[in-house]
Structure 1
Amino acid sequence: MNPNVPTGRGTGNRPANVFEKSEFVREFPEGIDWTEPDVSPATEFLQVESKSILSFNDSPDIPFSYSVNPYQGCEHGCVYCYARNSHQYWGYDAGLGFESKILVKKDCVRLLRKEFEKKNYRPRPMVLSGNTDCYQPAERKFKLTGSILELCLEFGHPVSIITKNSLIDRDRETIRALAEKKLVHVYFSINHLDARLKRVMEPRTATARKKLDLIQKFSSCGIPCGIMVAPIIPGINLEAMPQLIREAGAAGALKAGYTVVRLNGHVKKLFQDWLEAYFPDRKNKVMHQIESLHGGQSNDVQWGRRMKGEGVLAQSISSLFRAAVNKYMDPQRTMPEFDVTQFKRNGQLNLFSL
């Protein structure tokens, strides 16, 4: 383990917030007025009120229209997480602050009910969550995701769930009831099989084995499950992809997808420091391969290209993925179509307004 990273965290760094005009620096080590920051802070849950809860997506490379994020910030601590930078909008940093300052949208269920009850609301599949994990450790205490799923069941609203946490098993019966009405898809994000790698790259997520066991458990009771191999990091976890897809297919997964890593904003420096700490022998190679996916840069914002990359390596990854899916997943088994006709407003079906 890296002594500079607190136990159970993805990073010990606190990069400056790009929206702040000033920052604390230590220019003179002998300064008597300097107070060392807490290098191993306890998680702080900050309950906030929101003006709205339903976010609309218009990106052509993201297959959903609506998303709901009950939490901002994430204790999972995945070092590569693209959502880290968004924490700066709330006044915190993209490093340790993202992992230890968790914003809890306490009124999210009320706001979502209000949206569903609007006369002009039209149901479209929404995803939990588009930014941070809806089943991160905070959910054990606040149960917002569980309440949102119960609301979806009440209104007959379609929902897609993606998570890295086994806590989802707590809500299995609600999810099963949604599945009976063709109102739910569940995706487990798994990008490696190495428990030691998990401890340093995604410290507070569930192990791959636990998530694969849940795919089998959920599939056996009629809940449609898929797997997201995301993100693929060449030189770190790429070679695990075929075996992951094989095991997911054997467990009952109906669909697989993948994305390649992109290091936006502060995530690039956090990831480089992580490589230096845990994989110094391959740091340069890994960074060069990532850059080869994005036209020589570590990040890409171009729709249609940013998720899969481009170039020779991107083509190789795509070919490896397609070959594994064709070999290990039954093409006759697919995710069921969502049934939006199940949607009801104020307890009444609205078949003529859909």
Structure 2
Amino acid sequence: MDLAILIAVVVIALAFDYTNGFHDAANAIATSISTRALTPRVALLLAAVMNFVGALLGQEVAHTVSDTIGGIDSTSGLVIVMAALLGAITWNLITWYFGLPSSSTHALIGGLIGAGLVGGAAVHWQVMLDKVVIPMVLSPVVGFGAAFLVMLAIMWIFRKRNPHKVFRGFRMSQTVSAAALALGHGLQDAQKTMGVIFLALVASGYAAPDDDLPLWVIICAASAISLGTYSGGFRIMRTLGRRIIHLDPARGFAAESVGAAVLYTTAFIYHAPISTTHTITSAVMGAGATKRFSAVRWGVARSIVTAWVLTFPMAGLVAAVFYLVLHPILGS
């Protein structure tokens, strides 16, 4: 019975990874499409390839995700992980339907916390504070401020150059910055699914907490997010690329470059599973605000922030409900 549940958890985890791909595909490519640096299909293909490569570059974020809860074993632990995934998938689909770029990362971790609390797991609150909450608050602030400063520097450096030639150069440069951002997305988000699958393997006794991630877990997670990315996320692209602010190539390059830098820093140095959605959205706002603050559609930004704030509790609540439904069926 446990093996069957484990297989189901792995399948659901890969389904979550797939939804993460199409839900967050906009993160890496919306600015490049909105500035017409790349066509949608070329951008999606680039993002899919770089997501796959990024997923192969590390395991630290995956271990951080698996460390958020403990004290789970056997069938009950597997049901907790299954309920967490279903809660995260449900919230992803709701926000995708309404075109809101909410965080798949926080949906997943919120689901783990919600199902874990109801299921009697030990929530590691210090890990949550150090690796999730603090980076969650700081990464959008850093993204906004850094993109604002980078764009100011670009404006000053190229102030005497022909704007059309400058924009043409930055439009070409966006191919590199979009690829770098997609690599960071794979580095961050695919590892979160790896961490959940590893958590299920530990709960079922097929792995020890100190083991390295099995190669098949890495390849499957990388493939799922890559396929999901290529299937697209055009609803959210419109929100990120045009509804917040209409970006020019220079501002798109600044936003993407800063977003990629924040993703790499948090993954390789702090091992923190931050939200790619929060990071690039705040960077878009920061770069756009250099036109003038009123150029940013703050009403749309306010709706996005509302989705951010709701993600943790709502995904946790949905996951808790799934646990209460599934445990009497599978837990016995």
Q: TM-score scaled by structure 2?
A: 0.22
Q: Identify, as 1 or 2, the structure richer in helix.
A: 2
Give the structure with the higher percent strand.
1
Q: Which has the higher contact order (CA 8 A, sep 6+)?
A: 2
- Please identify the structure whose Cα radius of gyration is greater: 1
Q: Report the TM-score when normalising by structure 1.
A: 0.21
